[in-house]
Chain A
Amino acid sequence: MTDALPALTLLLVDDEAPARARIKELLQDIAAELPTRVVGEAADGEEALALIQHLRPDVALVDIRMPKMDGLELARHLAGLPQPPALIFATAYDTHAVQAFDLNAVDYLLKPVRAARLQAALEKARLVGPLTTERLTKLRQDAGQGPRRHFSCHERGRILLVPVQEVLYLKADLKYVTARTREREYLLDEALTHLEQEFAERFIRLHRSVLVAKDALSGFERGQGDGEDGGEHWLALLKEVPEKLPVSRRQWSHVKQYAK
C-alpha cells in the first residue's frame, strides 16, 4: 500500500454551534478510516461563501435552513466558481428538500447524523465532485424554495453578491443580463426568462428585454420614436435613476396598474 490519501479538507456550515460540534466529534471517530481536516466553520451562507473562496476546501457540509442565505442558495452561487467544493447537504427535517434531493439524486444527510452515514457521504462526494448549475436550479425549484435573496456576479474570479432588493431593473443584452442598482451595473450570467419566473413577485416585464422591480417604478410618460414598432409608446420612469425604460404595447396592459 502507498501512503494514505491526503486528508480531505472540510468546511462546516450550520447556524447551530452544537450541530457543528457534533459533526466534528463524528469526524474524529471516523478519522482512522477517512482522514479529514476541518479548515473552517461558518454560521450562514454569506460567511460560507467568503470562506470557501478564501480557504478552497474539498468538501463543504451545508445545512439547508440558515439565516441570511440558505444552503441551496449558497450552492447556486458556488456553482459559478472555477473550482467549487463538493457539497453535502444536511437537514433535520424538510420534506420538500428531501424530496428534491431524491428526485435529483443528490446526496444528503439527515440530522442527527450517524458516523457511518457521514463517512459514506464524504467518500461519495470526493468521487462525484461538484454539482452543475442546471441541477442546482432544478433542485431549488423542486424543494419549493422561494426566490434567492442575492444575485451573484463574477468579477475577476471573485463572486460579488448583489442583494435582490437593491436591483431596480434587469436588462438583457446579447449574452448577458445587466442588473442595475442605484450605484452601478452588474453583469449576471443568467437568462432573463428564468429570472422572470423566479422573481415574478418582485419584477415585472416591461419589454422583451427588460424586467423592472415593481416598487422602483415611479410613473409613466408618453414617448416618441424608437419603440419596437415605431411610433408612439410609453416610457417607464424610475424612482432612483434617470433612465427611462420603454414599455412594449403588449405589456402595457399588465404594467399600467403599477402607475401611481
Chain B
Amino acid sequence: MLRLLLGANLLLAGGALLLAPRLGEWPSQFVELAAWTEPVLFATLGFLALARNWLWHLRPLTGQALVLGLVAAEALLLFDFWHFMGLTEGGWGPALRVALLAVALTLPLLLYFSLRARAFSPAVAEARLQALTARIRPHFLFNSLNAVLSLIRQDPRRAETALEELADLFRALMRDARDLSPLSTEIALCRQYLGLEKLRLGERLKVEWAVADVPDDALVPPLMLQPLLENAVYHGIEPGDGPGCLRIAIARHSAGPGGAITIELTNPSPQGQSHHTGNRMALANIRERLDLYYDLEAKLESSDSQGTYRVRITLPLRRQTP
C-alpha cells in the first residue's frame, strides 16, 4: 500500500521533471500532474481494497489486465469530468491519450509488484519462515534437563511439573509456525519458558509483566517473543553479577489505520559482554520475519545504553477472524 503510493508519486515526480521546461517550474508541474493522478490512484486503491477477496481468485494475468482496464476507465471518467467542468478540451484524441498515459503509468508498478511477489512467493517465503523460526538454544535444553535431574530425588513432584512444562514448550517450538498466533498463546508460552529458567537461576531472575489493554485475540508472529526472552536471559541475566530483572511491556496504540501493538523488552546489559553477535543475528532474524509478515508496517528497534538493553517491536494490530 505504502509502496504503491510512494511508487506512483515517484513516477509522477519523474514525469513532471521531464515536462517542466525549467527546474523552477518542476514543483508546480508536479502539483498539476498530481491533480490528474491522485484521484485515479485513490479510486483504484479503494476498488482494490473492496474487491480484494474476489481478485485473489482470478488468474494473475486476468487480474492485472483488469486493473489496467480499470485505471484506463477511471482516467477517461476523470477526463470527462474535467471536460464537463470546462477545464480541458474534449475530443477523442486527448481522451485516448489520457487513457494510454494512465496505463503506461500503471504498467511499471504492476510489473514491479509481480516481480516482488515472485521473490516473496508463498513457497519461498514459507521456506524462509521455517528456516527463520528461531530454534531453542541447546544451552537452555541441557541446563534445564540438568536442573530437572537435580529435582528428581529431592522434589519428585516439582520435577514432574517441570518435565511437563518442558514437553509443552518443545511442542510449541516444534509446531508448524507459519500462521500468526494469538498473543495470549505466546504469552503463556513465555511464562512457561521463564518458569523453567527460574528453576535453575532462582532468585537471580526477576520478571515483570505489564500487559495493558491488548485484546487477547490480537495476532502476533509465532515464537517471536520467546527467543527474545531467551536472549535476554542468556546475555542479560546469566552473566550479571547479581539478580537482574526482565521487563516485558505490551501495549496497544492507536497509530495506523487499525491500531498497533508495541512489545518492549528491557533487561540489564552487563558490561564486558563482547559476544553480542549471537544477539544481533537473532534480531536480524526477527526483523526479516517481520518483513515477511508485515512488509513495511512493522518495525524493530534496539538500544543499549547505561547498562540497559531495550528491544521494541511495533506491529499493526490484527485480530483473529471468528
Interface residues of A (CB under 8 A from B): 15-19, 21-22, 25, 65, 67-68, 92-94, 110-113, 146-147, 149, 165, 201
Q: Is the CB of B239 within 8 A of A92?
A: no
Cβ of B143 within 8 Å of any chain A Cβ, yes or no, is yes
Q: Which of B147, B240, B274 contacts A16 (CB 8 A)?
A: B147
Q: Which of B150, B151, B200, B241 contacts A67 (CB 8 A)?
A: B241
Q: Is the CB of B200 within 8 A of A16?
A: yes
Cβ of B313 within 8 Å of any chain A Cβ, yes or no, is no
How distant is the Cα of A114 from the Cα of B272 in the complex, in angstroms? 33
Query: Which of A18, A21, A65 counts the most chain B CB atoms within 10 A?
Result: A18
Interface size on B, residues (CB 8 A): 27
What's the minimum C-beta distance from A6 to chain B, rounded to whole angstroms? 28
Q: Is the CB of A25 within 8 A of B146?
A: no
How distant is the Cα of A113 from the Cα of B240 in the complex, in angstroms? 25
How distant is the Cα of A19 from the Cα of B151 in the complex, in angstroms? 10
How distant is the Cα of A25 from the Cα of B146 in the complex, in angstroms? 12
Of chain B, the residue at the smallest CB distance from A146 is: B274
Query: Which of B137, B143, B145, B154 counts the most chain A CB atoms within 10 A?
Result: B143
Q: Is the CB of B150 within 8 A of A21?
A: yes
How distant is the Cα of A113 from the Cα of B274 in the complex, in angstroms? 29
How distant is the Cα of A251 from the Cα of B277 in the complex, in angstroms? 31
Q: Is the CB of A19 within 8 A of B150?
A: yes
Query: Known interface pairs A25-B153, A67-B239, A94-B139. Does A111 touch B275 (Cβ–Cβ under 8 Å)?
Result: no
Q: Is the CB of B154 within 8 A of A21?
A: yes
How distant is the Cα of A113 from the Cα of B147 in the complex, in angstroms? 11
Q: Is the CB of B238 within 8 A of A111?
A: no
Q: Is the CB of B150 within 8 A of A18?
A: yes
Q: Is the CB of A17 within 8 A of B149?
A: no
Q: Which of B137, B142, B241 contacts A68 (CB 8 A)?
A: B241
Q: Is the CB of B146 within 8 A of A112?
A: yes
Cβ of B322 within 8 Å of any chain A Cβ, yes or no, is no
What's the minimum C-beta distance from A17 to chain B, rounded to whole angstroms? 6
Majority secondary structure of chain A interface residues (helix, strand, loop or mixed):
loop
How distant is the Cα of A22 from the Cα of B142 in the complex, in angstroms? 13
Majority secondary structure of chain B interface residues (helix, strand, loop or mixed):
helix
Instruction: Give the residues in chain A near B275, CB-CB below 8 Å.
Output: 146
10 pairs across A/B with beta carbons < 8 Å?
A16-B201, A19-B147, A19-B200, A21-B150, A21-B154, A22-B146, A25-B150, A93-B143, A111-B142, A113-B146
Q: Which of B146, B204, B241 contacts A19 (CB 8 A)?
A: B146
How distant is the Cα of A99 from the Cα of B48 in the complex, in angstroms? 58
What's the minimum C-beta distance from B9 to chain A, rounded to whole angstroms? 44
Interface residues of B (CB under 8 A from A): 137-139, 141-143, 145-147, 149-151, 153-154, 199-202, 204, 238-241, 270, 272, 274-275
How distant is the Cα of A70 from the Cα of B99 in the complex, in angstroms? 72
Query: Known interface pairs A16-B200, A67-B239, A67-B270. Does A22 touch B143 (Cβ–Cβ under 8 Å)?
Result: no
Instruction: Give the residues in chain A near B141, CB-CB below 8 Å.
Output: 93
Of chain A, the residue at the smallest CB distance from B272 is: A149
Instruction: Give the residues in chain B near A65, CB-CB below 8 Å.
Output: 139, 238-239
How distant is the Cα of A84 from the Cα of B141 in the complex, in angstroms? 33
Q: Is the CB of A18 within 8 A of B200?
A: yes
What's the minimum C-beta distance from A30 to chain B, rounded to whole angstroms? 15
Of chain A, the residue at the smallest CB distance from B145 is: A112
What's the minimum C-beta distance from B204 to chain A, rounded to whole angstroms? 8
What's the minimum C-beta distance from A33 to chain B, rounded to whole angstroms? 20
Instruction: Give the residues in chain B near A15, CB-CB below 8 Å.
Output: 204, 238
Q: Is the CB of B238 within 8 A of A17?
A: no
Q: Which of A92, A147, A165, A201 contacts B146 (CB 8 A)?
A: A92
Q: Is the CB of A93 within 8 A of B150?
A: no
Q: Which of A67, A111, A147, A201 contacts B143 (CB 8 A)?
A: A111
Instruction: Give the residues in chain B near A67, CB-CB below 8 Å.
Output: 238-241, 270
How distant is the Cα of A91 from the Cα of B224 in the complex, in angstroms? 27
Closest 6 CB pairs of A and B: A22-B150, A92-B142, A18-B150, A18-B147, A93-B138, A112-B146
New contact pairs (7) apart from A18-B199, A67-B270, A92-B139, CB-CB < 8 Å:
A16-B200, A18-B147, A19-B147, A67-B238, A68-B241, A93-B139, A146-B274
